[in-house]
């Protein structure tokens, strides 16, 4: 069996972040070197705690969790308690974590880890605003060429935005950070709303997770039932989009996804379209292709993979 792929998960949990972390921890093909928390769905004091709660739920308290940026690079923090609840992980009643938070700052951990490993060995998996990744790139530009891939959830094009008509939440919260990442030269794979909106947590898919009959399965079903209520009301669908696990699923089974390489630029100047990802899908400019942008997903295959891996925890 090939050596496990080394990853760092950068995250702002978030129910869908929780499922992504659990999918990674339940997959032997992945070696989670650390989880770095960022302010986003809820403030940093909650996201770092939530990350530890998820590691303990998975039975992996040895996982290293680091706290990172408390606010975006330039703008004030915007959070999403109206979606995720006051704790960020509303739904199940998860106990307060006992595992410690690492003392090192998340940005230092990202830089040190990339510099200590071989070039092209480590994949970054940002599931929230890109503040920590941008801070690391700004502080130590040499890491850009050492990153194997940055596989991120963020942006939208054909689907528009989900927090403003133009912008998806993760990019909107810190558009300047997204701009740094997309200009860095590091290889980027992007999971925008165009793909995640096709991965719906239907009743039958949640039932399959609950039917695992495990502590993890029960908690995930409760997380998803809380999380989907907002999007079901907004979009009128059976189930809500399951955004962040798409990042981890791509590492495990890239054939579940389809997309194309194109240029992606981020709006940082206009209040009307702040955080919009301008994706040159139809190649109408000469701008260099800086991202592999996904648009299609085998949603049944994705939920099968997710359920199978949750069963291992």
Question: In Å, how far are 58, 129, 160, 248, 297 from 26, measured between CA atoms?
Answer: 8, 24, 33, 11, 21
For residue 243, give the nearest of 6, 10, 9, 14 by alpha carbon: 14
The C-alpha R_g of the chain, in whole angstroms, comes to 18
What residues are labeled active site? Answer: 243
CB 164 within 8 A of CB 172: yes
Reading phi first (left if > 0) and then psi (alpha if -120 to 50, else beta), residue 228 is in: alpha
Mapped onto helix, strand or coil, the DSSP state of residue 94 is coil
65-67: strand order across its sheet = 65-67, 30-37, 5-11, 122-126, 147-153, 188-191, 291-297, 257-262
Cβ partners under 8 Å of residue 118, min gap 6 = none
């Amino acid at each position: 069996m090939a050596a496990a792929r080394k990853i760092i998960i950068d995250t702002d949990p978030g129910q869908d972040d929780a499922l992504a972390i659990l999918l990674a921890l339940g997959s032997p093909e992945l070696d989670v070197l650390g989880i770095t928390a960022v302010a986003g769905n809820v403030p940093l004091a909650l996201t770092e705690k939530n990350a530890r709660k998820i590691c303990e739920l998975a039975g992996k308290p040895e996982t290293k969790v680091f706290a990172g940026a408390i606010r975006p690079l330039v703008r004030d923090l915007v959070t999403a308690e109206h979606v995720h609840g006051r704790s960020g992980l509303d739904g199940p009643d998860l106990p307060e974590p006992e595992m410690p938070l690492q003392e090192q700052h998340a940005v230092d951990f990202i830089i040190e880890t990339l510099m200590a490993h071989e070039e092209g060995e480590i994949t970054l998996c940002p599931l929230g605003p890109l503040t920590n990744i941008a801070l690391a790139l700004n502080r130590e530009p040499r890491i850009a060429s050492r990153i194997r891939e940055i596989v991120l959830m963020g942006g939208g094009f054909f689907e528009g935005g989900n927090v403003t008509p133009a912008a998806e939440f993760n990019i909107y919260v810190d558009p300047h950070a997204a701009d740094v990442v997309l200009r860095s030269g590091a290889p980027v794979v992007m999971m925008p709303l165009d793909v995640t909106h096709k991965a719906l947590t239907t009743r039958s898919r949640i039932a399959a997770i609950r039917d695992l009959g495990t502590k993890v399965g029960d908690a995930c079903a409760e997380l998803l039932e809380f999380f989907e209520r907002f999007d079901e009301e907004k979009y009128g669908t059976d189930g809500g989009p399951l955004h962040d696990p798409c990042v981890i699923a791509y590492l495990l089974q890239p054939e579940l996804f389809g997309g194309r390489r194109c240029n992606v630029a981020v709006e940082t100047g206009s209040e009307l379209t702040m955080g919009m990802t301008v994706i040159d899908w139809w190649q109408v400019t000469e701008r260099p292709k800086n991202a592999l942008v996904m648009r299609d997903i085998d949603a049944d295959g994705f939920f099968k993979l997710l359920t199978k891996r949750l069963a291992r925890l």
